[in-house]
Amino acid sequence: MKKKILLLLFLLILNCQGNILYWRRLPYYPVQNSDGNFLKIYLPSELTDLQERIQVKSYLISVFQEEKDTFLRRRLLINDDRNLGFNTLWTGLRQFHFKSDCQLIMPISKGEYTYEIKVNRYPDGFFSNIVITENILENHSIVITVDLIEPPYTTPIDFSQKLANRIGNRVRLKYHIEPTLKDDKFHDCPTE
């Protein structure tokens, strides 16, 4: 029996996806103390500036909320589980996959929490994240926007400066807090 447990632990450590931290893969549900509080992200299908443009068909999004009143203070995944099975949640990406040109609305807890939001273009492309610590009042929402920042170099000289100026390296997430609208409710943007 001990050998089987050790073998199982060894295989978990060797897992190429690094799924040892289950709270980063399996959604924590339901979100507690959510009284009209939401996280809203509009997922644009195109990001553009004067010189470049990125078409985005789908996104990979992870939203984590800090666990309160525990020693570890883990950041728990609060994406919707979409009624997926355990194996799909543990090994797949479907709980993170969202279509573009849609507004994702998910419940969050009221009070002071730290949120970590990661947004990627799927299957390859930009990666951006933001960590927010705010005291969210009842019936208020965090609104995330996907924005482009100005190129860091106006006249790039070498390859590294040109690479820094590429549009995929200039995608940033910004946020503000606004009162929740009366018709706001959970809205998913599944890819299927």
pLDDT exceeds 70 at position 23 = no
The sign one gets for the Cα dihedral 21, 22, 27, 30 is: negative
**In this predicted model, what pLDDT tens digit does every residue of 66-101 receive, in sequence order?**
888 777 778 888 888 777 777 776 777 777 888 989
Beta bridge partners of residue 178, listed in sequence order: 141
**In this predicted model, what pLDDT tens digit does every residue of 92-142 receive, in sequence order?**
777 788 898 999 998 898 999 999 999 988 777 788 999 999 999 999 999
DSSP per position, 93-160: STTTEEESSEEEEEE--SEEEEEEEEEEEESSS-EEEEEEEEEEPTTEEEEEEEEEPPPS-SS--SHH
Question: What structural domains and CATH numbers belong to the chain?
Answer: 25-179 (2.60.40.2890)
Mean per-residue pLDDT, 166-191:
84
Alpha-carbon distance of 44 to 189, in angstroms, equals 12
pLDDT computed for residue 127 by the predictor: 86
Which residues have a Cβ under 8 Å from the Cβ of 120 and sit 6 or more positions away? 59, 60, 61, 126, 127, 128
